[in-house]
């Protein structure tokens, strides 16, 4: 059931916001989804390209294990009170299935699923595979950082789009 929050701005101006659970998902739930969620909750600044250390300080980034597939992990709360989560689905095209599952359970107005898989570039793909699947983080992590830095502007635009969707502008 959607929770309602009343925001009173002045005596007469009253607006109703439906608080949503926002779930960023991709194949592994450890790179682009985590970075986008970190931007969304304000752990990373959209106007500043993060360093490797900034990225590695984010919880869950490049730290997931195969048992984490399908588990929804909490990343934080955004500026208007929405809860932000990340999810690894072991597939890059699961948007329809997730949305259908939500609508079958009448929670589609409460959950917003955001696919970050289109933002995975080849450097990130190779780095992610080396680090997570091949268990060689020493080799994979520099590539992951480089790939994430390349994808960063696009991920910031995605998060901005999600913010606009929440505000009802789109």
Partner 1 sequence: MRILLVGKTGVFDTLAVACGCLNKTNIINCSYFGDLGLENSKAIVKIGTDRMDSELYVVGYKAPEIINTINQELGLLTNINKPERLRVIPISIKGENATWLLTKLANVPLIGSLFLKWAKQRTLNRSPYLLEYGKNLYIEKNVNANVKKDLIFAAKPQKNKS
- Cα–Cα distance measured from residue 122 to residue 91, given in angstroms and rounded to the nearest whole number: 16
Residue 17 makes contact with partner 1 by CB under 8 A: no
**Residue 60 or 152 having the CB closest to partner 1:** 60
**Residue 93 or 135 having the CB closest to partner 1:** 93
Contact segment (CB under 8 A) with partner 1 among 106-114, 118-126, 127-135, 160-168 equals 106-114
Q: If binding means CB under 8 A, how many residues of this protein chain bind partner 1?
A: 25
Give the tokens for residue 61: 């980034």
Q: Which residues contact 167 (CB under 8 A, 6 or more apart)?
A: none
C-alpha neighbours within 13 Å on the C-beta side of residue 69 = 11
Binding residues for partner 1 restricted to 79-98, rule: CB under 8 A: 85, 87, 89-91, 93-94, 96-98
Residue 111 makes contact with partner 1 by CB under 8 A: yes
Contacting residue, 46, 54, 56, 69, with partner 1 by CB under 8 A = 69
Give the tokens for residue 96: 């329809």
Whether residue 26 contacts residue 117, with contact meaning beta carbons closer than 8 Å, is answered with yes
Residue 39 makes contact with partner 1 by CB under 8 A: no
DSSP-derived letter for residue 50 is: P
Phi, psi torsion values for 158, nearest 5 degrees? -60, -45
Smallest gap from Cβ 100 to partner 1, in A, equals 4
- Cα–Cα distance measured from residue 31 to residue 81, given in angstroms and rounded to the nearest whole number: 24
The residues of the shown chain that bind partner 1, judged by CB under 8 A, are 1, 21, 69-72, 85, 87, 89-91, 93-94, 96-98, 100-102, 104-107, 110-111
């Amino acid at each position: 059931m959607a929770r309602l929050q009343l925001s009173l701005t002045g005596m007469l101006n009253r607006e109703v916001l439906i608080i949503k659970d926002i779930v960023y998902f991709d194949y592994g739930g450890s790179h682009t989804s985590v970075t986008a969620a970190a931007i969304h909750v304000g752990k990373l600044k959209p106007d500043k390209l993060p360093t490797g250390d900034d990225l590695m300080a984010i919880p869950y980034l490049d730290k997931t294990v195969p048992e984490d597939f399908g588990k929804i992990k909490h990343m934080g709360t955004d500026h208007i009170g929405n809860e932000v989560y990340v999810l690894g689905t072991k597939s890059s095209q699961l948007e329809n299935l997730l949305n259908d599952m939500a609508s079958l359970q009448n929670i589609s107005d409460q959950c917003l699923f955001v696919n970050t898989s289109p933002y995975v570039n080849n450097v990130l793909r190779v780095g992610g595979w080396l680090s997570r699947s091949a268990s060689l983080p020493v080799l994979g992590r520099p590539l992951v950082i480089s790939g994430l830095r390349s994808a960063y502007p696009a991920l910031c635009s995605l998060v901005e789009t999600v913010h606009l969707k929440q505000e009802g502008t789109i």
